[in-house]
Amino acid sequence: MKRTTIFIPEALEGDLQRYARRAKKPTAWVVREAISTFLASRTAPQPRPLSVGLGDSGRSDLSERFEELLFADLKPTGGPKLARRKAGSSGRARGRRAT
């Protein structure tokens, strides 16, 4: 801890001494607590890094439509053409039972 000297009016020093006696705390403790509380209430919030929000697409449905959006412009390279399933489809044909 570092020692420091402050100059305060006599009336304020008297109030400080009386408060410390009533609280049964050392005067230095009362001063440290007062300064800490004062600074905590006055400290400006730290600015966020510039990278925060950089990847914001502006779409609220991105997680639901990511495959459609990623593969919309993809052209097959000669492999077998895969049929796309509709959302909510289980992959089984209707009316057929699994064996």
Distance between CA 45 and CA 80 in Å, rounded? Answer: 56
Alpha carbon distances (Å) from 83 to 9, 19, 22, 74, 95: 84, 80, 81, 14, 19
Alpha carbon 71 to chain centroid distance? 32
pLDDT (0 to 100) of residue 32: 96
Distance between CA 91 and CA 83 in Å, rounded? Answer: 11
Distance between CA 85 and CA 51 in Å, rounded? Answer: 37
pLDDT (0 to 100) of residue 67: 85
What is the residue extent of each domain of the chain? 10-41
- What average pLDDT does range 33-61 have in this prediction? 82
- What average pLDDT does range 5-34 have in this prediction? 96
| 44 against 15, higher pLDDT | 15
Question: Is the full-model pTM beyond 0.85?
Answer: no
Say if residue 78's pLDDT is above 80. no
